[in-house]
Amino acid sequence: MSHATAPLIGVLALQGDVREHRAMLERAGAETLAVRRPEEVARVDGIVIPGGESTTISKLARAFGVLDPLREALHAGLPGFGTCAGMIMLAEHIEAGIAGQETFGGLDVVVRRNAFGRQVDSFEADLEVTGFDSPFHAMFIRAPWVEKVGQSVEVVARVSVVHHGERPHAAADAVGRIVAVRQGSLLATSFHPEITGDPRIHAMFVDMVRESGG
């Protein structure tokens, strides 16, 4: 499909910041659709998987009948962007998941759930993101990190300096951790780019969707 017009990007609407993601994608020039059903999966040129709780998203995706269709679409090349729990949902391998926790997969990474600690360990950091000419201010909420990457995975951002670590020991641990990755048409961030008003990560994904459709 070619995109002389705006691409249609779905936001998985089972849990999380659906409205905020749609607003950022629209600012970046895409049209958006809330996705809850297989028919909607079939319509979109790309899919965003918001944060929330990956175990819940996984169960809801199964209950709504979109777990297998989305898994198949992503493996067949549908561009996907996962944030926080969405990153976990895109990972082929997870650490500290619950027994039998299912993901869509696609990204050749090991992602550790709740890696930075629990809710009290939420923090903010300015990140150097590949391709950006100024830092991206990122918010982490019970975030995962990427523990291992496969050969075809590009590291897009690591934590450098932590600004508001509520627990200094957790913050010290955070430095150097991989928090954004890209593999082909898949993008994932440990943080929540939909809530800080900076559309650059969403714009990166919209570009990826346009490129994949070209």
Q: Does 58 bind ligand GLN (CB under 6 A)?
A: no
Query: Is 192 known to be catalytic?
Result: yes
Q: 7 vs 165, which CB is nearer to ligand GLN? A: 165
Q: Does 84 bind ligand GLN (CB under 6 A)?
A: yes
What residue ranges in the chain does DSSP mark as E strands?
8-12, 31-35, 46-49, 80-83, 91-95, 107-112, 123-127, 136-140, 145-149, 154-158, 161-162, 178-183, 186-189
Instruction: Measure the CA–CA gap between 142 and 83, rounded to whole angstroms.
Output: 12
Instruction: Measure the CA–CA gap between 109 and 125, rounded to whole angstroms.
Output: 22
Query: Is 84 known to be catalytic?
Result: yes
Segment 134-173, which members bind ligand GLN (CB under 6 A)? 141-142
5 by Cβ neighbours in 10 Å (0-12 / 13-18 / 19+) ranks as exposed
Residues β-bridged to residue 94: 111
Q: Does 54 bind ligand GLN (CB under 6 A)?
A: yes
Instruction: Measure the CA–CA gap between 13 and 1, rounded to whole angstroms.
Output: 24
Query: Is 137 known to be catalytic?
Result: no
Q: 54 vs 185, which CB is nearer to ligand GLN? A: 54
Q: Does 114 bind ligand GLN (CB under 6 A)?
A: yes
Tell me the closest approach of the beta carbon of residue 195 to ligand GLN, in angstroms.
10
Tell me the closest approach of the beta carbon of residue 63 to ligand GLN, in angstroms.
17
Block residue for tokens 């360990």: 121
Segment 86-105, which members bind ligand GLN (CB under 6 A)? 88
Stretch that binds ligand GLN, among 34-42, 51-59, 74-82, 149-157 (CB under 6 A): 51-59
74 by Cβ neighbours in 10 Å (0-12 / 13-18 / 19+) ranks as buried
Q: 32 vs 54, which CB is nearer to ligand GLN? A: 54
Task: Tell me which of 20, 21, 102, 194 is the catalytic residue.
Answer: 194
Interface positions with ligand GLN (CB under 6 A) = 51-54, 84-85, 88, 113-114, 141-142
Q: Which residues are catalytic?
A: 84, 192, 194
